[in-house]
Structures are given as structure tokens and as C-alpha cells.
């Protein structure tokens, strides 16, 4: 499947909004009208949209997955996800201890121990057999669950291929199970709130890929515009109806419409600038490093007194710095590390 530039743009925008969400959460910044944390919309649910996009793109490579054994498949995912994630954990550990020295408390209440460091590096800290709360890098929970989703996806495809069953049934079962985990508040290894958020949205994204390829794009576009128009009308006219079951409504109604609308607009982003800057790759680094950035930003604020944490201008300045830093980490660090590891493994 060819690169979908519009999805790269969407991921980049989402990453910036996640930065705003966590910036306000950790610094206490609140506004009278616009709040990305404790506002009228729960912006943290954008992670579900990340899962949906990941599932959509994974479904596009289903045929390639059938031709790989599990070792080949999982090695590719580990090479893509683990190196920079592990580097971010080590950097966040150093920043966390610096935060304790300056502020006299643990950043975001996360105490750094050997056990938590070990599980954060392995990405087994959240959702699985280990239940050690938030990882040293808060963004890791998404990556932990994403790896579980990839493993389950592989074996669904493996099983359905041998039994000559359409994989979409397996994906639908997993998405519904994820929703059930959330609504029934199950708390078991691999079956809990974190994995529920991942299963419900990742496998929904895989189903949406099949819908996108089977249904006429014009019909899907009309549906998406209609859904978003109705949701906006309800948001401004009857907010209590919008707020009820917000996570479910955003995951199963709004986000699919946003995805289809973004896919429909892909032809408008056919230019070399996007190919050179690769905003989708930069978005991953923004998500991965923004917690580290906020921690350092708060340390500098405390030590210098120059940075006013209760200021929207400073939040936007921080986001700009994170974009530049993440672009460097993606184009210089991540690409070099990934290439080096691929050569070593080959």
C-alpha cells in the first residue's frame, strides 16, 4: 500500500494535541475557554485514534504478514518500536531524578525503581502480566498495548488462513471484547482498561480498512461529513448527550468519520515536502519524547524562573521546541539506529 500522506498529517496534528493535553495535565495550566485537559472534550482519547490508524495500516499489510513466520514478524515490530522507546526511558529516568532534586517530589507521581525501569525498558509495565502502574515514560502504555495487538493480530491471521475463515470476524470479536473490558471494568492480565482501549480501537481500524476498500469512497465521504455535522450539532446544542459515553462515541462514531475524511483528502497532499519531512515519523517521536520534554521544561521553570508554566504562550513555545527536537530524533537518531540494527541482524 502506498504511503498515505494525509494520515501522516493527521498523526502529526494528533501528537501536538496530545502534547497540549499532557502539558496542561502536568503543569496545572488552565484557561477560561480552551482546555486540553479537564475541558469539554477528553483529548486523551486521541490515543484511540492512534490505535485506529495503526490497525488500519496493519490491515493493509495482511498479505505480507501471511508470508512471514512469527519470528520475522515480531522482529520487524521490535526494530520499529523498541530502540527509541528504550532510549526515551533512559532519558526520562535521568530527567525524573533531576526533577526530584529540583521539585522535591517525583514527576507525575511516578517513583523510579529498578523493577519499574526494567519493565519500562521491556515494555511490560502496563496492561499485561505485570501491573506496575504508569511506566517511567507515560507514553509507554500505548506501545505496550500496541505490541499485544500486533501479536494477537498475527495469530488471528495465522488461524483464519489455515481454517479458510475471513479474518474480519476475528477482528470484530477483538474490538467488541475490548469495548466489553471497558464497560464491565475488567481487571485481569491482558484483559483490563488499557488493553480494552487498544483492542477496541486497533481492531476497529482493521475493520475500517476493509470498509474503505469495499464501499464506494464517495458514499463513505458523505457518511463521514454527515456524522461529523450531527456530532457538532449535538455538541453545541445538547452537550449532555455528547458527554454521555464520550469515549465510546468518539472511538466508534467520530474517529472512523475523521479517518475516512482524512483518507478522502489524501490527493490534496501529493507533494515532496511531506515526503522529505515525514510528519508521521516525527509524530511518533513527539509522542515518545513529550513527557521527557515537559519534565525538563518544569525543571527549567523552577530553576530559572523565566518559564511561566501558567501561560498559553509558553505551552505553544514548548510544542514548537518539541517538534524541532522530535524531527531531529527521527531523521538523525531513529533512522541511523534502525539502519544499524537491521544491518547487524541481516
Q: What is the mean pLDDT of each run of 10 residues along the chain (346 residues)?
A: 87 97 96 90 96 96 83 92 97 98 96 96 95 92 97 95 93 98 96 98 97 94 96 95 92 97 91 88 97 98 95 97 98 94 84
Nearest CA to 173 out of 193, 194, 148, 202 is that of: 202
Compute the chain's Rg from CA coordinates: 20
Cα–Cα dist 67/70, whole Å: 10
Residues 6+ apart with CB under 8 A from 341: 79, 83
Instruction: Return d(Cα 137, Cα 116) in angstroms, integer.
Output: 10
In the chain, beta strands by DSSP E: none
CA-based nearest residue to 335, from 63, 5, 6, 80? 80
**Alpha carbon distance 205, 16 (integer Å):** 21
SS3 255: helix
Backbone angles phi, psi at 29, to 5 degrees: -65, 130
Query: Cα-Cα-Cα-Cα dihedral of 123, 79, 338, 8, to 10°?
Result: -80
Helix (H) or strand (E) holding 87: helix 70-103
pLDDT of residue 258: 98
pLDDT score of 1: 59
Beta carbons of 225 and 215 less than 8 angstroms apart:
no
Beta bridge partners of 86: none
Position 66 scores a pLDDT of: 80
Angle at 111 between CA 284 and CA 84, to 5 degrees: 25
Q: Locate cell 477482528: which residue?
A: 171
Predicted TM-score (pTM) of this structure: 0.96
Distance, CA of 309 to CA of 103 (rounded, Å): 14
156 with 174: CB under 8 angstroms? yes
Q: Is 341 exposed, middle or buried (0-12, 13-18, 19+ CB in 10 A)?
A: middle
Could you give phi then psi for residue 105, rounded to 5 degrees?
A: -155, 165
* Residue 191 three-state SS: strand
Q: What does the pLDDT read at residue 6?
A: 95
Name the DSSP class of 307: -
DSSP 130: -
Residue in this structure with the C-alpha cell 501558567, named with its chain if needed: 310
Amino acid at each position: 500500500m502506498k504511503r498515505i500522506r494525509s494520515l501522516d498529517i493527521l498523526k502529526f496534528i494528533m501528537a501536538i494535541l496530545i502534547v497540549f493535553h499532557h502539558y496542561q495535565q502536568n503543569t496545572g495550566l488552565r484557561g477560561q475557554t480552551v482546555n486540553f485537559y479537564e475541558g469539554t472534550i477528553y483529548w486523551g482519547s486521541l490515543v484511540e485514534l492512534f490505535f485506529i490508524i495503526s490497525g488500519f495500516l496493519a490491515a493493509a499489510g495482511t498479505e505480507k504478514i501471511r508470508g512471514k513466520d512469527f519470528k520475522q514478524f515480531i522482529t520487524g515490530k521490535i526494530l520499529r518500536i523498541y530502540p527509541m522507546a528504550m532510549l526515551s526511558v533512559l532519558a526520562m529516568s535521568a530527567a525524573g531524578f533531576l526533577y526530584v532534586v529540583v521539585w522535591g517530589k517525583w514527576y507525575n507521581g511516578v517513583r523510579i525503581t529498578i523493577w519499574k525501569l526494567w519493565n519500562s525498558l521491556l515494555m511490560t509495565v502496563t496492561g499485561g502480566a505485570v501491573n506496575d502502574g504508569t511506566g517511567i515514560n507515560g507514553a509507554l502504555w500505548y506501545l505496550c498495548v500496541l505490541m499485544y495487538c500486533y501479536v494477537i493480530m498475527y495469530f488471528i491471521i495465522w488461524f483464519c488462513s489455515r481454517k479458510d475463515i475471513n479474518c474480519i470476524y476475528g477482528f470484530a470479536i477483538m474490538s467488541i471484547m475490548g469495548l466489553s473490558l471497558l464497560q464491565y471494568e475488567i481487571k485481569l492480565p491482558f484483559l483490563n482498561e488499557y488493553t480494552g482501549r487498544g483492542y477496541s480501537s486497533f481492531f476497529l481500524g482493521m475493520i475500517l480498512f476493509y470498509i474503505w476498500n469495499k464501499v464506494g469512497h464517495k458514499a463513505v465521504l458523505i457518511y463521514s461529513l454527515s456524522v461529523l455535522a450531527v456530532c457538532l450539532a449535538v455538541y453545541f446544542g445538547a452537550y449532555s448527550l455528547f458527554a454521555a459515553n464520550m469515549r465510546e462515541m468518539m472511538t466508534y462514531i467520530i474517529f472512523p468519520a475523521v479517518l475516512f475524511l482524512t483518507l478522502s483528502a489524501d490527493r490534496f497532499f501529493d507533494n515532496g515536502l511531506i515526503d522529505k519531512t515525514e510528519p508521521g515519523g516525527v509524530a511518533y517521536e513527539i509522542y515518545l519524547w513529550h513527557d521527557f520534554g515537559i519534565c525538563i521544561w518544569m525543571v527549567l521553570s523552577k530553576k530559572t524562573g523565566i518559564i511561566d508554566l501558567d501561560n498559553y504562550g509558553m505551552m505553544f513555545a514548548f510544542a514548537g521546541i518539541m517538534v524541532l527536537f522530535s524531527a531531529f530524533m527521527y531523521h538523525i537518531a531513529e533512522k541511523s539506529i534502525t539502519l544499524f540494527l537491521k544491518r547487524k541482524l541481516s
